[in-house]
Amino acid sequence: MWGGRFAEGPAAVMREINASIPFDKRLWRQDVAGSKAHAAMLGAQGIISTEDAAAISAGLDMVAAGYEANGVAEDLTLEDIHMQSEARLAEAIGPVAGRLHTARSRNDQVATDFKLWVRDAIDAVDDGLFHFQQALLARAEEHAASVMPGFTHLQSAQPVTLGHHLMAYHEMIARDRSRFTDARARMNLCPLGSTALAGTGFPIDRDMTATALGFDGPTRNSLDGVSDRDFAIEYLTAAAQCALHLSRLAEEFILWASQPFGFVSLSDQWSTGSSIMPQKRNPDAAELVRGHSGRIIGCLTALMITMKGLPLAYSKDMQDDKPPVFEAHDLLALSIAAMTGMVESATFRTDRMRGLAEAGFSTATDLADWLVREAGVPFREAHHITGRAVKRAEELGVALDKVSIADLQAIDARIDERVYDVLSVDASVASRTSFGGTAPARVRAAIAAAKKGNEP
């Protein structure tokens, strides 16, 4: 490629460290698309003849067909997907292939290819997250009124519904989708035409290539156009945040599937056994999702550290921008698919959930609220009265709604029979009717709203 300047070829180790074809071959579709757009523009601008532009376009179609049929060969002497494609094009159409690189550098070429790939990756992730949300909505609707203990500090706090709990994850994923959407909008400017770093003296039409490739327009600064990797970092940031959310649900499934909880049974499709203990049903898919989140965060960290000290414009360090993005994307796609499958196929043991909700004095706050609302007791005083009632229930070994009225009135005479209307777990969840609350009516309204606004 640069034989005119160098008398000797690279050392074997240099050839290996310098080559990126083992991983950037994934960009072949984007590389062909970018090259076709560039060739069409060169022809339209009279920079190359229309005949040569047509020959290059047809040749690129042949290159793409070869890749589709046989894959991309990892020829280290050709270094990267860009040189690989140019070599294949020359084999297909001869010396005219050499005109393709007019008014273009590998610097703006790779930046364009990589942006196209990340844009496609965002679209794929969004589609996966949409289907994950649909699974959450379906199970939330099924369990809009299924009572379970709500936790803080992993201690029983107040009763909620399983539908409400699942809809919390729907909200998280909605934010994830918005982050990916924002990143996609911000990155959608085309670097092609920035050339190596300074632009070109050829009369190129950057708007034409940007439009052909689905961008909103060309990047506004050639130095920034070739050196920017914000789009990759933003993608990884959104991926890391999404992976955290998936990991939190995975962790809950792991806890819920354990015998002390017994809230869920994962299907055979998403469980594994033990090589020595025949009774085991391990939530390995959930554990792997939890583990993948750490690797995705590591990918973000790796790219940020690679970019943190680089001067403008392009440095060879930036060749290492793609492996962490590719790895994170693959792991995130697997995690989304796995969590979708687990949510769709899980068997929720709502009897067990209700039993623990009833056993954990989770309606204590309802007693305090009743004292405030019906007896005019200041909340702080009501809090102390309720604490004594909980202590009495513990002494008797019963749920709060099973403590006799005599025992309750011995604690505070202002309590009367009406208090039992709020002390059951069903009454508790039904009373939480504030916007965003756990009342089944509110959960169903939230589901209806999500369905209405959750088009892909």
Could you list the active site residues?
153, 274
Angstrom distances, CA of residue 54 to CA of 28, 31, 63, 88, 190 = 20, 17, 14, 16, 23
Dihedral, CA of residue 272, residue 277, residue 280 and residue 283, to nearest 10: -40
162-187 vs 440-453: helix axis angle to the nearest 10? 30
**How far is residue 13 CA from its own chain's centroid?**
37
d(CA 135, CA 170): 9
Would you say how long the chain is, in residues? 456
Task: Name 152's bridge partners.
Answer: 155
